[in-house]
Amino acid sequence: MASPQEQKQALRTAALARRDALDPVYRVEASLRIAELGAALPVSAGDVVAGYWPMRSEVDVRPLMFGLRERHARLCLPVVLGETTIAFRELLRGVPLIETGFGTIGPGAEAVVLDPTVLLVPLAAFDRRGHRIGYGAGHYDRVIARLRESGVASRLVGIAFDCQQVEAVPDEPHDIIIPDILTETGLHTVMSSP
């Protein structure tokens, strides 16, 4: 029998292939729909929303982020520091963005580092229980654990297209449940584990 890591890799590969196969126009329309549906997120003035700069065929959360900025949220983007650490640098209008690794861009080292109160988490695959598969490096698992250890209770919202849903992600002890998943068909609150 395959190990949980091997099972996750197979699920990741299949889900990303489905995402990559989506028509580019559909991805744009679905990303805009996700931005509209994201208006239901309970975000208020002063909240710090960490999004991400989309890479490859990911959901483009920039329209969602800009809508949240209109509600006076502060925005930030993740920057990978070294091999394992993510910092969230404030995203302000007019500030130049630099390459930050992994095909993404973000604010430079002079930007203020923030702790997000809302964390938009990109998903490679997910199930209805809120178990997720990322890209395999564990960056988000570590940053969520670090935020929790420092007392920051970030609201976690997974972001994906519906086609990335799988029947079940293999459970592992270190799993962090994502309680809300936002796709082009709505904001889905996950079912509890039995």
Residue 139 annotated as binding site: yes
User: Are 165 and 126 within 8 A, CB to CB?
Assistant: yes
Residue 132 annotated as binding site: yes
Residue 52 annotated as binding site: no
Residue 186 annotated as binding site: no
119: β partners: 50, 156
Residue 138 annotated as binding site: yes
102: β partners: none
Residue 140 annotated as binding site: yes
Residue 145 annotated as binding site: no
Q: What is the dihedral of CA 35, 79, 178, 51, to 10 degrees?
A: -10
Residue 172 annotated as binding site: no
Structural tokens at position 107? 């604010």
Residue 26 annotated as binding site: no
Residue 5 annotated as binding site: no
Region label for 130, one of left (φ > 0), alpha (ψ between -120 and 50) or beta (otherwise): left
Residue 58 annotated as binding site: yes
- Residue positions in the annotated binding site for ATP? 8-12, 132-140
- Residue positions in the annotated binding site? 8-12, 58, 132-140
- Residue positions in the annotated binding site for substrate? 58
